[in-house]
């Protein structure tokens, strides 16, 4: 069973998946549902840490495309991830899952600052750790933050919960004949320029030999199902 293969994993959730049916912002019912699924996986005995994007609040890249300075836009995006992280912490704690938010940008009044050793300690004490503010640097995406933290935490896999249920040869929203990969290599994701995960994240995961499982977090129970060896996903491995 998948859960037996993974002792510690990092779940990366796109910001958009926390909007629910809204066009913007945080839908608390959706965050509660995702938190429930995280707690179910956690109850299977898998240590879980999280990185959340910010596309539901602010998209650094889009703002940069419209003329905003890229570094400023990225910092605003990082602040968006802190809001999402605090919302997730709140949902987790309301269902009795202990969690800690650690930010890559120091804001001690709001949450802990990132510390690798402390984060590992939290996980050993059965806490879910939520890594906020990306890598703390502009020009890096939250996918890259996920690959970086997963490497630092010695995670067995990265689970990328997004809006599509796997990796396709072309955009399945645009093309009906798009074909899904059940399994694909890091090399192929990079050379085919399949944009479902950014290339810096894929390179980092490849260097550290951490498989990436791509699945739809919008589909209810998909995270738990995949852990139990069911469900719909694609896996990137070496």
The footprint of ligand GTP (CB under 6 A) covers 100, 108-113, 121, 125
Least spacing, CB of residue 229 vs ligand GTP, in Å: 33
Least spacing, CB of residue 111 vs ligand GTP, in Å: 5
Nearer residue to ligand GTP within complex by CB, 14 or 91: 91
CA dihedral sign of residues 86, 88, 93, 98? negative
Cβ–Cβ contacts within 10 Å for residue 147, how many? 32
Angle at 79 between CA 154 and CA 106, to 5 degrees: 65
- Are 80 and 109 in contact by the 8 Å Cβ rule? The answer is no
Nearer residue to ligand GTP within complex by CB, 108 or 191: 108
- Are 15 and 2 in contact by the 8 Å Cβ rule? The answer is no
CA 176 – CA 119 distance, rounded (Å): 43
Q: CB-based contacts of 55: which residues, under 8 Å, 6+ apart?
A: 14, 15, 16
Least spacing, CB of residue 8 vs ligand GTP, in Å: 17
Least spacing, CB of residue 82 vs ligand GTP, in Å: 11
Nearer residue to ligand GTP within complex by CB, 113 or 208: 113
Nearer residue to ligand GTP within complex by CB, 97 or 226: 97
Least spacing, CB of residue 132 vs ligand GTP, in Å: 12
Nearer residue to ligand GTP within complex by CB, 108 or 193: 108
């Amino acid at each position: 069973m998948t859960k037996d293969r993974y002792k510690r994993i990092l779940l990366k959730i796109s910001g958009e998946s926390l909007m629910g049916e809204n066009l913007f912002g945080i839908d608390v019912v959706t965050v509660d549902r995702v938190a429930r699924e995280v707690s179910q996986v956690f109850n299977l005995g898998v240590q879980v840490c999280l990185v959340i994007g910010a596309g539901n609040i602010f998209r650094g890249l889009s703002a940069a495309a419209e003329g905003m300075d890229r570094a400023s836009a990225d910092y605003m995006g990082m602040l968006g991830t802190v809001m999402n992280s605090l919302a997730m912490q709140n949902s987790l704690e309301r269902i009795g899952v202990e969690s800690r938010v650690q930010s890559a940008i120091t804001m001690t009044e709001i949450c802990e600052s990132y510390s690798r050793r402390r984060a590992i300690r939290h996980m050993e004490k059965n806490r879910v750790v939520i890594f906020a503010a990306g890598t703390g640097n502009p020009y890096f995406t939250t996918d890259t933050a996920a690959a970086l933290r997963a490497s630092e935490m010695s995670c067995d896999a990265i689970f990328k919960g997004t809006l599509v249920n796997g990796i396709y040869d072309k955009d399945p929203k645009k093309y009906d004949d798009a074909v899904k990969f059940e399994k694909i290599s890091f090399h192929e994701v990079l050379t085919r320029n399949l944009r479902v995960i950014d290339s810096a994240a894929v390179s980092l995961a490849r260097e550290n030999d951490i498989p990436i499982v791509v699945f739809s977090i919008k589909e209810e129970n998909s995270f738990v199902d995949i852990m139990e060896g069911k469900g719909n996903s694609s896996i990137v491995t070496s």
